């Protein structure tokens, strides 16, 4: 089987600001334009296509696997910008991070209310 996840469309109120928020916080290359999309590319060649809409935006969740040193950098940027973060997806533990699978993780919101997760160890990879 050679099925690979290739892209997803993320609805946004301001697609340029939303793409820039993501690339700046995660330390990714600038977004590029493709048709009506602002495209953010991540390391495993998945594209996140920001699509601008005035319509309703249902909150989705996107999780990014990063290294421990990247966690330090991203977490520093989150705190510098005073962005709220939580240890859990239910957002019941504000100002905390989690240590699932022996790594570190946290959740924060993007400009549209999508929930973004960063984690240094994939689920189930710990002892
Ligand atoms: Fe998750």
Q: What is the pLDDT of residue 124?
A: 96
Which of the four CATH numbers 3.40.50.920, 1.20.1560.10, 3.90.120.10, 3.10.180.10 does domain 7-119 have?
Answer: 3.10.180.10
CB 114 within 8 A of CB 60: yes
Res 28: pLDDT: 98
Give the number of other CB atoms < 10 A from CB of residue 10: 22
pLDDT of residue 127: 74
What is d(CA 123, CA 115) in angstroms, rounded to the nearest whole number? 17
Domain ranges of the chain: 7-119
Q: Of 115, 103, 17, 24, which Cα lies nearest the Cα of 65?
A: 103
H runs (alpha helix) in 15-57 = 15-26
* Kind of pairing between the strands at 32-34 and 7-12: unpaired
Q: How far is the CA of 63 from the centre of ligand 1 (A)?
A: 6
pLDDT of 13? 98
Do 51 and 12 touch, CB atoms closer than 8 A?
yes
CB burial readout 68-104, b (16+ within 10 A) else e? eeebeebbeebeeeeeebbbeeeeeeeeebbebbebb
Cα 37 to ligand 1 centre (Å) = 25
Distance 94 CA to ligand 1 centre (A): 16
Q: Yes or no: say if 61 and 113 are a contact pair by the CB < 8 Å rule.
A: no
Task: Flag residues of the chain having pLDDT under 50.
Answer: none
Q: Which residues surround the ion ligand 1 when the cut-off is CB under 5 Å?
A: 63, 117
């Amino acid at each position: 089987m050679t099925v690979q996840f290739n892209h997803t469309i993320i609805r946004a109120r301001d697609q340029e600001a939303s793409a820039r928020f993501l690339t700046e916080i995660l330390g990714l290359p600038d977004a590029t334009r493709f048709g009506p999309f602002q495209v953010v590319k991540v390391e495993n060649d998945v594209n996140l296509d920001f699509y601008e809409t005035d319509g309703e935006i249902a909150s989705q969740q996107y999780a990014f696997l990063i290294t421990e040193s990247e966690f330090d950098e991203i977490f520093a940027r989150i705190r510098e910008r005073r962005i709220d973060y939580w240890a859990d997806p239910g957002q019941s533990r504000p100002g905390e991070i989690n240590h699932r699978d022996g790594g570190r993780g946290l959740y924060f919101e993007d400009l549209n209310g999508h929930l973004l997760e960063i984690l240094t160890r994939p689920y189930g990879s710990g002892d």
